[in-house]
């Protein structure tokens, strides 16, 4: 076998194969097998969902008084676990400004925010939110915005969310 650095470098596709070891469930012996790169990658994001929500300019300007639903209530015995959140401020004319944090909440419990210190955005900007704040996740409750004290903004805002739906009615789905 050649030394590893003598092999050519390549960018993998999901259909490419990796060599690995799998435990045979009957004999409990290790078998050398091939795994698809896509299958291995799928293990890292098992049960993750993603969505992008657009907040129009009119919705942005009314955000403090009219919260925006980001993820709908998932149903009985199910809760939303927010993993990641990022925001794209699609600038057009006046700066995006707000006076208080724009919070992402489930039943008034904050799970991410856009701090007021980031206010005054005057160009296309991507903001990475701190997501995964601690709190009790209420079952069958939507993730919505709260606060913001928005005062100006021209353009729209897009929020990309990565999350899981946790089902407490069965341990196999939790």
Q: Six-digit token pair at 112?
A: 């991410």
Q: Assign residue 141 the CATH number of its domain.
A: 2.60.120
Question: Which of 19, 20, 17 is CA-nearest to residue 37?
Answer: 17
- pLDDT at residue 76, as a whole number: 94
Give the residue numbers spanning the domain of 25: 10-44
Residues counted in the chain: 174
- Torsion of the alpha carbons at 109, 133, 142 and 69, rounded to the nearest 10: 100
One domain, residues 37 and 53: no
In a domain, 4, yes or no: no
CA distances from 91 to 61, 80, 119, 127 (A): 14, 30, 13, 13
**Alpha-carbon span 137 to 71, nearest angstrom:** 13
Question: Which of 160, 102, 103, 158 is CA-nearest to residue 133?
Answer: 103
Please say whether the beta carbons of 18 and 10 come within 8 A.
no
**Alpha-carbon span 121 to 95, nearest angstrom:** 5
Domain total in the chain = 2
What residue has token string 């699609």? Answer: 90
- pLDDT at residue 98, as a whole number: 94
In the chain (174 residues long), the average pLDDT of successive 10-residue segments reads: 80 87 87 86 80 96 94 96 96 93 95 94 94 89 93 94 91 60
In a domain, 157, yes or no: yes
């Amino acid at each position: 076998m050649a030394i590893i650095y003598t092999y050519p470098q390549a960018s993998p596709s999901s259909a490419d194969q990796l060599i690995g070891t799998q435990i045979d469930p009957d004999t409990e012996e290790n078998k050398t097998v091939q795994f698809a790169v896509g299958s291995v990658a799928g293990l890292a994001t098992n049960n993750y969902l993603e969505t992008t929500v657009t907040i129009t300019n009119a919705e942005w300007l009314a955000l403090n008084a009219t919260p925006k639903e980001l993820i709908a209530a998932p149903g009985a015995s199910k809760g939303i676990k927010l993993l990641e959140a990022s925001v794209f401020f699609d600038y057009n004319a006046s700066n995006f400004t707000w006076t208080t944090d724009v919070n992402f909440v489930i039943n008034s419990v904050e799970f991410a925010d856009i701090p007021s210190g980031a206010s005054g955005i005057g160009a296309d900007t991507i903001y990475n939110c701190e997501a995964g704040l601690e709190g009790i996740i209420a079952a069958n409750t939507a993730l919505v915005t709260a606060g913001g004290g928005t005062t100006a903004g021209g353009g729209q805002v897009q929020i990309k969310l990565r999350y899981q739906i946790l089902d407490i009615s069965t341990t196999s789905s939790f």
